[in-house]
Structure 1
């Protein structure tokens, strides 16, 4: 027997238990509002995807959820902070001028990514040398297993003369963006072919055009490579004392000034121009208009959600993927690797082959008191 309260409510002409189930069924069959809500969520992913791909012509950053939110935040950043790139690198590191020993904290987003992804792109000989150093340390100290860190491994690179600096080399991240855009347009065509509904295609095409227009702003290149070119100074890139690896980039006429680049994020010469602010204002208005237009679609909205899902998956991949220095417009060529189980021995070896560089690494990688023989050794190396 039904409860008394339920029997009493059932006599009410407005009582209808099927209302909720019908509403939920209707929402899942035609999710008309879901896409417009998702357009204003997740702008951070898009910002990092743009930072990865922009700066050298067409950048395939896909139309996805979060673009409306990003367009507004980018406008506020350009007008308030005078920047488009992410405000802080996601991997802290130092850039040391190996010629004079001057050290500075890095603010460049792309240098931070190069160091973050170092183990992904480093030359195979560096991995071999690292394993050799760890195995030697295990043997010397009679450890039961290889230690995770021992001594210091220094890799030597130089600017690649066969590739132009400040021009990105396309990789799988780039081509996945191109493929995703084509796939999105293909999905958007389906409701037009099946039902004559051209709304999904128009929204998708407009979103793709606005995304590409945002990626083509000249401000991206101004910020990503805010540095002088043809620097002949060598540089040291490292996460700091206590790390396994240090990276030396020798100077030649094809190199970038990495000291400039390290501080370029805060350089006033890279501030957002009036053109950038005006362009972002127009783009923000257009994105909001696209959001309003998208709310008017009530049919075949699953296709629009599929377009957005493809875009957010690709943007997430682009934002987080490990890449090589050439993909950031800093092409490098491997020279050699030097490594010993003791930091001081590594610095001796670096100084012997590259006079002055080992000495300028000393203050960063060896903070203890030098023994008399070590003081004499460094005096001989001057």
Structure 2
């Protein structure tokens, strides 16, 4: 309640001889040049910014901005898998005919077709274009007081915030979390929200699928594995001293015995400089960046607090409003699987009035229904069902 706090503060600080302003006068002053705008700009908090940031990272430019005091938030471990399932379910629900929507189980089968991107690269999409246009609009609005009155405070804050966000967004940490080390899996994945789910998304790897199991439970950033796919953050792994032949000579690793889809054996470059010694270089970059940005954000907040009243608050509110719209839109946006480096081709769909019927139909065609049977029917089956 910024207006109520402003009124109470104004009545308490007034002297006994000065007439107290009327409610109409205080409301008119607030709407003419709003105060306490920080509370207004924090309507959308860090949880929305986290989701928007997780959606947009992966390229040198990040189509997201961060309001003052919201800070940064890390991506959840299963964010990519959760959003992949959510977006596939939403897309298939819209495509289903109205007469087929009364079902107990729907199984949709996809086949991975492979991506042209490398193990550490995403494609440029319309999200980046929209983000760039909104960012330019924000800077343009913030420059209005500078052009008309020479007041550079709003433009400085907007430009500095934008620079801080882009600095943090271009870290390789986010790509390491959103893309697994195994890029060409031939496994079969079943995505669902649990035992009572009405939707099951089957993805057949065909040697062209991201390892969704690794995305659901990834290796920690302190380990070497997430950084092995970056050529500039890893190096060729030396031969294992135990891999020697009978004559004592080093034996070349048998690549045929390795799991399909794995990258050539590499290990992360370790940073041995205090105070981040003993951790992979990529993770050290993340820690150093956050340490520096924490100090810079604090310095910016101190400077903003010094400006108790912006002479052009409406410009600052307009910039903040665009930020809130951009973050909310990006956080809720449905993305196609190709935008997550996982292009899929639909192979078939089973819509059944009963769960058991759907599992039987799927197993009849693909012979892979037993794991789903154990998930949805963990107990003993009826005699007819078993037959």
TM norm. shorter chain > 0.5 = yes
User: Are residues 1:313 and 2:293 paired?
Assistant: no
Structural RMSD (CA)? 3.1
Separation in 1, partners of 2:115, 2:183: 15
- C-alpha distance in 1 between matches for 2:343 and 2:56: 15
TM-score normalised according to structure 1 size: 0.72
Task: Give, in angstroms, the shift of residue 263 of structure 1.
Answer: 0.9
Structure 1 residue 170: deviation in Å? 5.1
Contact 2:114–2:342 at 8 Å: present in 1 too?
A: no
User: Within 5 Å, which residues of 2 pair with 1:93-108?
Assistant: 107-108=77-78
Q: Confirm whether residue 85 of structure 1 aligns to residue 86 of structure 2.
A: no
1:336 is aligned to: 348
Structure 1 residues 116-125 or 291-300, which shifts more?
Answer: 116-125
Q: Deviations over 1:68-116 (max 9, x none)?
A: 3414xx4xxxxxxxxx213xxxxxxxxxxxxxxxxxxxx5111111222
1:188 and 2:142 matched: yes
Aligned to 1:49: 52
Deviation, 1:309, is 1.6
Number of residue pairs the alignment of both structures matches: 314
Structure 1 position 58, deviation (Å): 1.6
Q: Which deviates more from structure 2 when the two are superposed, residues 36-45 or residues 341-350?
A: 36-45
Within a 5 Å distance, the mapping from 1:355-366 to structure 2 comes to 355=367, 357-366=368-377
Pairing 1:6-25 to 2, within 5 Å after superposition: 14-18=16-20
Relative to structure 1, is the Cα distance of residues 31 and 294 closer, same or farther in structure 2, using a 3 angstrom cutoff?
farther
Return the alpha-carbon distance in structure 2 between the equivalents of residues 39 and 276 of structure 1: 26
1:224 aligned partner: 178
Aligned pairs for 1:1-382 (under 5 A) are: 14-18=16-20, 28-31=31-34, 33-35=36-38, 38=41, 42-63=45-66, 65=67, 67-71=68-72, 74=73, 84-86=74-76, 107-122=77-92, 127-128=96-97, 131=98, 133-134=100-101, 147=102, 149-150=103-104, 152-164=105-117, 167-169=121-123, 171=125, 173-264=127-218, 269=223, 273-297=283-307, 298-355=310-367, 357-376=368-387
Post-superposition offset of 1:155: 0.7
Distance 1:124 1:333, change over 3 A: farther
Give the C-alpha shift of residue 202 in structure 1: 1.9
Contact 1:36 1:295 in 2 (8 A): no
Deviations along 1:154-196, one digit per CA (max 9) or x if unpaired, are 1111223354376545555443322210110110121122222
Change (3 A) 1:205 1:36: farther
- Whole-angstrom CA distance in 1 between matches of 2:371 and 2:41: 51
Q: Answer 1 or 2: higher relative contact order, Cα 8 Å, separation at least 6.
A: 1
**TM-score between both structures, scaled by the size of structure 2:** 0.71
Segments of structure 1 that go 5 or more residues without pairing to the other structure are 1-11, 75-83, 87-106, 135-146, 377-382
Name the SS for the 2:218 alignment partner.
Answer: helix
CA contact (8 A) 2:185 2:209 kept: yes
Taking the aligned partners of 2:121 and 2:87, their CA distance within structure 1 comes to: 19
For structure 2, which runs of at least 5 residues remain unmatched after alignment? Answer: 1-13, 227-279
Q: In the alignment, which residue of structure 1 is the partner of 2:242?
A: none
3-state secondary structure, aligned to 1:292? helix
More helix by share: 1
What is the CA deviation profile of residues 318-346 of structure 1, one whole-angstrom value per residue up to 9, with x for unaligned ones? 12223222233322221211222232332
CA offset at residue 253 of structure 1? 2.3
Is the CA contact (8 Å cut-off) linking 1:31 and 1:302 kept in structure 2?
yes
